[in-house]
Amino acid sequence: MRRSVLVAPFLALACFCGPATAQQASKTSSDDVFARGCGDDRGIDRCADSVQKDMRARYNIAAAQELVDRGVTFRRVMLVDGYGQDVVAITAHRSPGSPPMVEVQVPAPKGDAYAPLQAVLDIETWERVLADSANFDRDVAPLKDQQPPICLHAWFAVSEAGDAARLSQNIVGEQANAAGMRRDAESACGGGLGITFAFRLADIAYAALPECRSIERGSVRNIPALLATCKRLQGDRPAAGEALATLGKLQRARGQMTRQESDWLLSSDAKALQPVLWSLLQQASAIYFDSPRAIDVDHVVARGKVVYWNEPAKSEDDQEAEIELDLIRQLDRFVIKSLRLADRRPAKRG
């Protein structure tokens, strides 16, 4: 059962979408998914057992009961962005015979080819995870005369805690404390403690994963999104993360880059590509890249798609083409060594 706590004034600022009310009257029995504080941006009931089961399946992670039965103590969050899309699952756990670990997963089909994204946690950090999770499943009582917020595209967090049976430390002898589990699901619009814990766990994971720090913080919305991006990087993750800066410049270049500036995106021996690159930047409506693969610290391959949208919006003449780049480190930044653009083909807008 959830327990209510009176929020202190400073906790009122912990919501990641601005001032907010309590968790919609403790997730009342109302049939309206938003009145219960359970709806994501698309109105999916993220409090429902069946929906959470589907979420775990997308991340290929075990249910809480299964972990506890195996003697695992864990804290986990599954985060949904402000458009109802599953973003990342972060799990801190301590399994029998192993040190505490933190793991990051993204939605992926079975047989996920990406390398695991995980790290060992020191005992002090593990204890901080447990302390931060102490109250995530409690309701927050609203401040007096607090006004309802205007809250759009809020993130959503499903948080879980499992404590395996352990020997009690409060008595002499060997008496085990029973295993236990807790769970909470809430929108950032609710101003509850679950969202606060979810982002704290993301910060802890980021601090424990130095391979993700080459990704520019300003290129992603927040730390959970950065961790999801990092998980999908292939090969040498730090190098692939650095290459994202160059790919981002290409994606933002349309109408924002001079020809001379685009020339700086090319390696010293690839200046002959300048007309091709400049034509691409002038004609493309958008460029999308899959997660890059770093062959080694100095070489990265990036594949993606270029789209060419014609007006009006429902035009049947939209086109797309596959693109592949070879990037090389030069003057300690990644630049384009080769560019291959396939023939255009008809495309449909999503």
Q: Does residue 24 register a pLDDT over 90?
A: no
Q: Where are the beta strands (DSSP E) in 37-130?
A: 73-80, 86-94, 101-105, 117-120
pTM across the whole model: 0.85
Do 103 and 164 touch, CB atoms closer than 8 A? no
pLDDT of residue 37: 87
Length of the chain measured in residues: 350
For the stretch 309-343, pLDDT in tens is 886 666 677 899 999 999 999 999 999 999 999 99
67 versus 8: the higher-pLDDT residue is 67
Q: Count Cβ neighbours within 10 Å for each residue of 145-154 and write b for 16 or more, e otherwise.
A: eeeebebeeb
30-34, 237-241, 276-280, 311-315: segment of lowest average pLDDT: 311-315
Tokens of 12: 């009122």
For the stretch 246-284, pLDDT in tens is 999 999 887 788 888 899 999 999 999 999 999 999 999
Helix/strand/coil for 93: strand
For the stretch 59-71, pLDDT in tens is 999 999 999 999 9
Q: Interhelix angle for 123-132 vs 193-208, to 10°? A: 170
> Residue 303: in which H helix or E strand, if any?
strand 299-308
pLDDT of residue 102: 98
Q: For residue 242, which of 213, 262, 208 has the smallest C-alpha distance?
A: 213
Angle made by CA atoms 190, 101, 245, in degrees to the nearest 5: 70
Which of 133-147, 154-168, 172-186 has the highest mean predicted lDDT (pLDDT)?
A: 154-168
Q: How many helices (H) and strands (E) in the chain?
A: 9, 17
- Place 143 in a pLDDT band, splitting at 50, 70 and 90: low
Helix/strand/coil for 175: coil
Helix/strand/coil for 330: strand
For the stretch 162-208, pLDDT in tens is 999 877 777 666 777 778 999 999 999 887 899 999 999 999 999 99
Terminal Cα distance for the chain, rounded: 43
HEC string for 104-149: EECCCCCCCCCCCEEEECCHHHHHHHHHHCCCCCCEEECCCCCCCC
Over the chain, what is the mean pLDDT? 86
d(CA 201, CA 177): 25
- Domains of the chain from N-terminus onward: 4-232 (no CATH), 237-346 (3.10.450.50)
148-152, 201-205, 303-307: segment of lowest average pLDDT: 148-152
Which of 106-110, 238-242, 277-281, 313-317 has the highest mean predicted lDDT (pLDDT)?
A: 238-242
10 Å Cβ neighbour count for 35? 14
For the stretch 85-95, pLDDT in tens is 999 999 999 99
d(CA 104, CA 126): 16
Tokens of 211: 């391979």
Q: Does residue 97 register a pLDDT over 80?
A: yes
pLDDT of residue 145: 64
Average pLDDT of 118-132? 97
d(CA 266, CA 143): 56
Q: What percent of the chain has pLDDT over 90?
A: 69
Q: Does residue 117 register a pLDDT over 50?
A: yes
Do 194 and 159 touch, CB atoms closer than 8 A? yes
Do 302 and 287 touch, CB atoms closer than 8 A? no
